[in-house]
Chain A
Amino acid sequence: MNLTLRVWRQAGPDAPGRFETYEATDISADSSFLEMLDLVNERLIEQGEEPIEFMHDCREGICGTCGIMINGQAHGPQSSTATCQLHMRSFQDGDELVLEPWRTSGFPIIKDLVVDRSAFDRIIEAGGYISVDTGSAPDANLIPVPKDDADLAMDAAACIGCGACVAACPNGAAQLFTAAKVSHLGLLPQGQPERYERVVDMVEVMEEHFGSCTNMGECEAACPKGISIDFIAMMNRDYLKAKFRNRRTA
């Protein structure tokens, strides 16, 4: 199949960017979207042009490295699918595709389609963990966890940290990402001692880097792992409770 790509090219963080048009010809419908880009890049190199930089690693939808806006949609048209899992058979011969990086102030552009998502790490560092030193843990079966709680915690823990939720949000908010971690840990008995401190610390750092949530729901629609916005409600409840508790203990 043949496609026309309009790709955002930007030489560096402070360089001006622009769209360039490339013809992607003779693409196999069985190849993946990123393999299509590989091929376009091979041809660019042949012609002496610098290849398009894009993010990727596992190419299996689990590492969260990849992520491109395809025709305005984070990770493209297929639901619950990361960019690397898209295959060309879900596009039509003759399609024109506009490829852009995640566009949000929380993720500055590094080059072409590559952005800096380190603000996510800052949120986790603020408290997205359970404080337990290596070697100090009791026997694993000492604390039973009801299966339903464990399953729900796992639903939240499935977040791959790709940033599509932020990219899709008109406000550039990172609520879904943050809520996924707050809920994962807050749903488990091990996470209780630090539960309220954690949510406050994480939300504060989140707000330093990202916009505010107005419940648009775009994040859930873009999320390749189907993380539910119910977790945002859960996080908000914990946050309010935490503030209330602080007032009482202050």
Chain B
Amino acid sequence: MLDARVPDGPLETKWEHHKFDMKLVNPANKRRFQIIVVGTGLAGASAAATLGELGYRVKAFTYLDSPRRAHSISAQGGINAAKNYHSDGDSIFRLFYDTVKGGDYRSREANVYRLAEVSNNIIDQCVAQGVPFAREYGGLLDNRSFGGAQVSRTFYARGQTGQQLLLGAYQALARQVKAGTVELHTGIEMLDVVVVDGKAVGIIVRDLATGEISRHSAHAVVLGTGGYANAYYLSTNAMSCNVTAAWRAHRKGALFANPSFTQIHPTAIPSSDEFQSKLTLMSESLRNDGRIWVPKDPDESRGPADIPEDDRDYYLERRYPSFGNLAPRDISSRAAKVVVDEGRGVGPLKNGVYLDFAEAIERLGRDAIDEKYGNLFEMYERITGEDPYQVPMRIYPAPHYTMGGLWVDYHLQTTIPGLFAIGEANFSDHGANRLGASALMQGLADGYFVLPYTIGDYLAPQLGSPPVDTSASEFDQAEAEVRGQIDRFLATNGTRSVDWFHRELGRILWDNCGMARNRSGLEKALSEIPALREEFEKDVRVLGSADTLNSSLEKAGRVADFFELAELMCKDALVREESCGGHFREEHQTEDGEALRDDDDFAHVSAWEWSGNASAPTEHREVLEFEYVELSQRSYK
């Protein structure tokens, strides 16, 4: 049984007391500690900057060419906080409650409460940094509402909230680089964690431009390396997002929690051909005014405008009369899958559903729609060549976010002492389904306000001992493994590209471990994935050399890890004999097709241990106890 080290006492005071109880490193001693932060997305950059401000010596790593870039930059919608600036009844408790419920009761109460508690500090901090949040005419901060909440608590900066928050964190980081507390390593990919005497003491990295491999040691290692939705090949994530950092930590002993909890976002642009490289998200806010429908008849051949009302099926409005087009993400996604599987999909590949603004345009006028969604309409037209003022948009669900990740305790420490995981890389506070605008909040909560405190508790007792020497045999061994893998890829000289294998793997995962899962599909995937992996090892073609920029070589390592992760995702989905949030097992549904949880047997986190064999992981459990929120069936009818 896993111990999450949740402090005692009432929910409201746990964090405050815990901060008091934790061991401290005094300011003068902080510079005697070296900390490695891998990843400079929202979580990593905010952590590295804050640790630097506190006086620690920090090395920050990103494989991108600058910390101003990271997947976080794509977030459009906004960030939640319990400010209650609009006096609409919001509170820390309500944000906590909504998040636990939205996650379908599969998250840890104490962590979620802390997240809600620090959410307000995040907004204060970001405003002070100069993040240009949207304002009302009086000059105060504006808010909007988002799915799964009945209050207006989402702060935003046009359609570029993630960009502005990331730039804020990046600038705070740049300030520490100038101050000399943070040493920045860009274009550098971490390829292994080094563990000595059971503790994380360093990493092995590769310079992507020169191929140089080097070793770095520290008193603690923090991973803020993002999520793994790219395991599906097509997703809304940036092209380079991958699981390598987290996976290699997993192989060194860190447990990986709830890998099958993935979020499929309902409104992305459907793919247009097999060479599609990624899926583009259309903001969820469109569902406020757009109506979703498909033709009733699978053989319908008329264009959307010529299909009369009677021949249309507004299936969300039909199935969920009270929430209608605003039903939560997981529910809307599955409903789209049902109609497309029935052959009623629209578009040349029959792989989408209509999101129709005709009625809203008539009711509110074109100008009003343009003001609200102009930039999104333009983006849609740019990609599809179709004008959504004239023809309905076509949308389809797409892999978007991963709730699963490295298991962490209340301190955000993994099961390897000294190794911490923050942001989307950890298994997070979102349970089985994340609510909109909560990932940015969590990344910044972890990085600005949680980790910088909890890491001190781990470091304090080590005062006086220098970091492990990088000539230790554990470093030799880790480096040899990294070099060995690179040499193997270059020597294989097979016939198929890395992308080919990634696409095939993605297809297996999407078909069997996507929006709906069942035993026979998962078992099929569990036999297909290792077979394809074997083929990958024998037949992949990676050209060029290891001593210049070589993106095929980079991808090969990442895809190798996706192969192992994919198996674990299917395994996790198979043993979780219930439906909850994004995890929908067809065997476990109510009469009218809704997710059926099993709280007696599955109110736990599954945390998997690497056994040396990707096909035979060992399951551990953290039992979830709910003291403050009452478990109930979610209903959006």
A residues 127-156 in Cβ contact with B at 8 Å: 127-141, 143-147, 150-151, 153-154
A140 touches B127 (CB 8 A): yes
Interface flag for A87 (CB, 8 Å):
yes
Residues of B within 8 A of A (CB): 46, 49-50, 53, 64-71, 73-74, 83, 85, 121, 123-130, 132-141, 157-158, 160, 163-164, 167, 170-172, 174-175, 177-178, 184, 186, 209, 238-240, 272-273, 275-278, 280, 379, 382-385, 448-449, 452, 497, 499-500, 541, 543-544, 548-552
A125: min CB distance to chain B, Å? 4
Identify B552's interface contact among A32, A45, A55, A87, CB under 8 A.
A45
Which residue of chain A has its CB nearest to the CB of B493?
A48
Q: Contact at B130–A190, with CB atoms within 8 Å?
A: yes
Q: How far is the CA of A133 from the CA of B181 in the complex (A)?
A: 13
Q: List 6 A-B contacts (CB under 8 A).
A: A29-B385, A129-B174, A130-B130, A132-B172, A150-B133, A188-B132
Task: List 8 tightest A-B contacts by C-beta distance, closest first.
Answer: A144-B139, A129-B171, A137-B128, A140-B127, A137-B124, A154-B132, A134-B50, A111-B549
Give the contact stretch, choosing among A56-64, A166-174, A228-236. A56-64
- Which residue of A has the minimal Cβ distance to B137? A147
Contact A147:B139 (CB < 8 A) given known A31-B272, A120-B66, A157-B167: yes
How does the 8 Å CB contact mask read for A89-104 relative to B, with 1 for contact and 0 for none?
Answer: 1000000000000000
Instruction: Pick the contact of A89: B50, B277, B385, B452 (CB < 8 A).
Output: B385
Question: In this assembly, does A30 line the interface, its C-beta being within 8 Å of a C-beta of chain B?
Answer: yes
Shortest A89–chain B CB gap in Å is 6
Q: A57-B64, A184-B132 are in contact. List 20 more A-B contacts (CB 8 A).
A: A35-B276, A45-B543, A63-B73, A81-B382, A116-B65, A117-B66, A124-B68, A126-B178, A127-B178, A129-B174, A130-B129, A135-B448, A137-B127, A144-B135, A157-B157, A157-B164, A158-B158, A185-B130, A190-B127, A191-B130
On chain A, the residues within 8 Å of B448 by CB distance are 134-135
Distance to closest chain A CB from B419 (angstroms): 22
Residue pair B124, A184 in contact (C-beta under 8 Å): no
User: B85–A141 contact, CB under 8 A?
Assistant: yes
Decide if B139 touches A146 in the complex (CB within 8 Å): yes
A134 contacts B130, C-beta separation under 8 Å? no
Say yes or no: A128 contacts B174, CB within 8 Å: yes
Is A117 in contact with B65, judged by CB distance below 8 angstroms?
yes
A82 to chain B, nearest CB (A): 11
Contact A62 B73 (CB under 8 A): yes
Q: Within 8 Å CB of B127, what residues of A?
A: 137, 140, 143, 190
Contact B452 A134 (CB under 8 A): yes
Chain B nearest CB from A110 CB (Å) reads: 5
Q: Which residues of A contact B500 (CB under 8 A)?
A: 42
Cβ of A211 within 8 Å of any chain B Cβ, yes or no, is no
Find out whether the CB atom of A50 lies under 8 angstroms from the CB atom of B544.
yes
Q: Tell me the bound Cα distance from A49 to B542 in angstroms.
A: 10
In whole angstroms, what is the CA distance A117 to B67 when docked? 12
Q: Is the CB of A87 within 8 A of B551?
A: no
Inter-chain contact B125/A135, CB cutoff 8 Å: yes
**Interface code A18-51, partner B: CB below 8 Å = 1, 0 otherwise?**
0000000000111110110011001001101111
Q: Which of A11, A38, A89, A146 contacts B548 (CB 8 A)?
A: A11
Judging by beta carbons under 8 Å apart, are A134 and B69 in contact?
no
> With the chains together, A144 CA to B138 CA distance in Å?
7
Q: Which residues of A contact B239 (CB under 8 A)?
A: 56-59
Bound complex: CA A132 to CA B124 (Å): 11
> Quick check: A64 and B499 within 8 Å, CB to CB?
no
How far is it, in angstroms, between the C-alpha of A161 and the C-alpha of B125 when the chains are bound? 23
A161 CB contacts on chain B under 8 angstroms: 66, 68-69
Q: Is A249 an interface residue (CB 8 A)?
A: no
User: Residue A214 at the B interface, CB < 8 A?
Assistant: no
A58: which of B73, B138, B170 is its contact (CB, 8 Å)?
A: B73
A53 within 8 Å of B (CB atoms): yes
A77 to chain B, nearest CB (A): 14
A132 and B549 within 8 A (CB): no
The answer to whether B133 and A121 touch across the interface, beta carbons within 8 angstroms, is no
